[in-house]
């Protein structure tokens, strides 16, 4: 879905980041308009924004704009307004509903829930009781405030007040645009590979990247759910206030983390590519290459999904992933049903397609009601599809 977004830019030194934010928003397919405050134009010429935007920016009440784009129309024709950077002065004007320029007047035309404010200022400005009072008022009215971060400030000092990086602002925008779960829940997600060590330097593993589980954690958290992310080695980092991450190496460690938390969770999503076998013994030191033949004896690792299914309470939901080369979706789902799984995700794998590490996947979403086929869908969209399927039965 393409959103219409109005980017508001005010007179802060952090304005240089707005140009990059504009680019990122364009890359993501947002339809954009830009408003600069008169003081913002002293920092960067409107021409730079217009060059990227390929249309006129809005600045002053008295300028002539195309019909249908006065400050009231802009509020009704855009889904969201993002003010980044937002100065202490603009924040104060908004908090007191004082429309002293075109940007503030336009922002006041939006319902607060459709405005994101990204403050940027010196630490002293930010910590000032009057600024904090204004921020609290704006939060109370329903505005979305993205807190500034600690870091280097324009003055050269380090402190809280720095505007977050454009990529993080983009993530915040996606979060605000994500519809919230009606009945929020706590989910455990396992993701990534596991490693079963043979000796201190060698191990049995697979090429799973963990992307699917991380994107699922992101989607569920954006919907307002709590997530316990049990991540195998080398899973990409992701941080969110609702996501608690537990890093593990082996299948046994993953099993222990799941056993410890399952009783306080509502949903389990087993997206990890857990090793099925582990060496019976781990050598204490690196195995020497002094033999032509070396035999390793392996034993089964714990079946995490089976344990979760066996210990499933009445209202708990279990999602199991199946990666199969020989079984049909029907056969794979039968196997999952035996483990008390509610939703199955069948990963197709063959010589022509391996989902590991890719940003896309082809899956069959299997529920007791029906099977749905998704071909070459981004893992981000698959996270949304799976989150919807969970909400349908939870
Ligand atoms: C070099 C320079 C950097 C500034 N940076 C900031 C800033 O980061 N945050 C802020 O709140 N004000 C900052 N100001 C002050 C604002 O530009 C000033 O309050 C202005 O009136 C803001 O107007 P506006 O919010 O309508 O754009 C800065 C001023 C100058 C000269």
pLDDT(308) > 90 = yes
Q: Are residues 146 and 259 in the same domain?
A: no
Residue 123 and residue 160 in contact, taking contact as beta carbons nearer than 8 Å: yes
What pLDDT was estimated at residue 70?
78
Which of 132, 155, 177 is the last residue in one of the domains?
177
Distance 12 CA to ligand 1 centre (A): 4
The domain boundary, picked from 158, 177, 196, lies at 177
Catalytic choice (101, 127, 206, 256)? 206
Q: Are residues 149 and 201 in the same domain?
A: no
Q: Residues 311-322: pLDDT tens digits? A: 999 999 999 998
Strand partners, 58: 35
Q: Does 206 participate in catalysis according to the annotation?
A: yes
What CATH number corresponds to the domain at position 229?
Answer: 3.40.50.10300
Q: How far is CA 119 from the centre of its chain?
A: 21
What are 345-361's pLDDT values in tens digits? 998 776 566 667 678 88
- 49 & 139 share domain: yes
Domain that includes residue 120, residue range: 4-177
Across the beta sheet with 115-119, what order do the strands follow?
31-36, 4-9, 80-86, 115-119, 144-145
What percent of the chain is predicted at pLDDT more than 90? Answer: 84
CB 175 within 8 A of CB 222: yes
What's the rounded Cα separation, in Å, for the pair 106 and 113? 14
Q: Ligand 1, closest atom to CA 89? A: 25
Last residue of a domain, one of 147, 177, 207: 177
- What secondary structure does DSSP assign to 270-290, as a single string? E--B--SEEESS--SSPPPS-
Identify whether residues 89 and 39 lie together within a single domain: yes
Ligand 1 atom closest to the Cα of residue 93 is 25
Supply 353's token pair. Answer: 């397609």
Mean pLDDT of 249-263: 98
Same domain, yes or no, for 77 and 147? yes
Is the pLDDT reported for residue 374 higher than 70? yes
Q: What letter does residue 193 receive in the DSSP assignment?
A: B
Query: Which residue's CA is minimally distant from atom 29 of ligand 1?
Result: 12
User: pLDDT per residue over 162-194, tens digit each?
Assistant: 999 999 999 999 999 999 999 999 999 999 999
What pLDDT sits at residue 2?
Answer: 87
Q: Which of the listed residues 42, 87, 118, 131 should we mutate to test ligand 1's pocket, taking the one with most ligand atoms within 8 A of CB?
A: 87
**Please, are residues 84 and 118 in contact by the beta-carbon 8 Å criterion?**
yes
Q: In the prediction, which pLDDT does 51 show? A: 97
Residue 227 confidence (pLDDT) above 90: yes
Q: For residue range 149-160, list pLDDT tens digits in order.
A: 999 888 888 999
Token digits of residue 54? 């390929």
- Using most ligand atoms within 8 A of CB, pick from 8, 10, 12 the residue to mutate for ligand 1: 12
Which ligand 1 atom is nearest residue 103's CA? 26
Confidence of residue 299 (pLDDT cuts 50, 70, 90): very high
Residues 80-107 have a mean pLDDT of 97
Task: Give the percent of the chain with pLDDT over 70.
Answer: 97
Report strand pairing: 115-119 vs 144-145.
Answer: parallel
Pair 195, 94 in one domain: no
Atom 5 of ligand 1 has which residue's CA nearest to it? 12
- Cα gap 85→317, rounded to integer Å: 42
Is 262 found in the same domain as 172?
no
For residue 357, with 0-12 CB atoms within 10 Å meaning exposed, 13-18 middle and 19 or more buried, which class applies?
exposed
Statement: residue 234 has pLDDT above 90: yes
Residue 55 Cα distances to 58, 66, 290, angstroms: 10, 11, 71
Residues enclosing ligand 1, CB less than 6 A?
A: 10-14, 37, 39-40, 87-90, 101, 120-121, 125, 154
The length of the chain, given as a count of residues: 394
């Amino acid at each position: 879905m393409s959103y219409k977004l109005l980017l508001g830019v005010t007179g802060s030194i952090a304005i240089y980041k707005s140009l990059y934010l504009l680019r990122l928003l364009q890359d993501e397919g947002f339809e954009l308009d830009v408003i600069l405050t008169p003081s913002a134009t002293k920092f960067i010429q409107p021409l730079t924004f217009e060059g990227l935007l390929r249309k006129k920016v809005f600045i002053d009440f008295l300028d002539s704009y195309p019909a249908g784009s006065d400050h009231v129309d802009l509020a009704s024709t855009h889904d969201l307004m993002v003010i980044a950077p937002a100065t202490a002065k603009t924040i104060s004007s908004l908090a007191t509903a004082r429309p002293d320029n075109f940007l503030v007047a336009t922002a006041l035309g939006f319902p607060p829930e459709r405005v994101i404010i990204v403050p940027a200022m010196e630490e002293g400005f930010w910590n000032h009781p009057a600024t904090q009072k204004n921020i609290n008022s704006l939060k109370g009215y329903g505005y979305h405030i993205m807190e500034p971060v600690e870091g280097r400030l324009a003055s050269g000092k380090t402190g809280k007040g720095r505007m977050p990086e454009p990529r993080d602002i983009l993530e915040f925008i996606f979060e605000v645009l994500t519809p919230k779960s009606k009945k929020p829940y706590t989910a455990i997600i396992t993701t990534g590979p596991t490693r079963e060590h043979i000796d201190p330097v060698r191990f049995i593993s697979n090429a799973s990247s963990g992307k699917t589980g991380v994107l699922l954690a992101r989607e569920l958290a954006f919907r307002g759910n709590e997530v316990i992310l049990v991540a195998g080695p080398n899973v990409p980092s992701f941080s969110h206030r609702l996501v608690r991450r537990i890093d593990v190496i082996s299948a046994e460690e993953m099993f222990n983390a799941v056993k410890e938390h399952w009783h306080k969770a509502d949903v389990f999503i087993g997206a990890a590519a857990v090793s099925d076998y582990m060496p019976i013994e781990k050598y204490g030191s690196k195995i020497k290459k002094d033999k032509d033949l070396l035999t390793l004896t392996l034993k089964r690792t714990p079946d995490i999904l089976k344990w979760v299914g066996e210990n499933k309470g009445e209202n708990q939901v279990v999602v199991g992933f199946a990666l199969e080369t020989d079984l049909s979706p029907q056969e794979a789902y039968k196997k999952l049903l035996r483990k008390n799984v509610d939703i199955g995700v069948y990963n197709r794998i063959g010589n022509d397609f391996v989902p590991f590490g890719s940003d896309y996947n082809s899956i069959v979403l299997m529920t007791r009601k029906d099977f749905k086929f998704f071909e070459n869908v981004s893992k981000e969209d698959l996270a949304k599809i799976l989150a919807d399927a969970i909400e349908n039965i939870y």
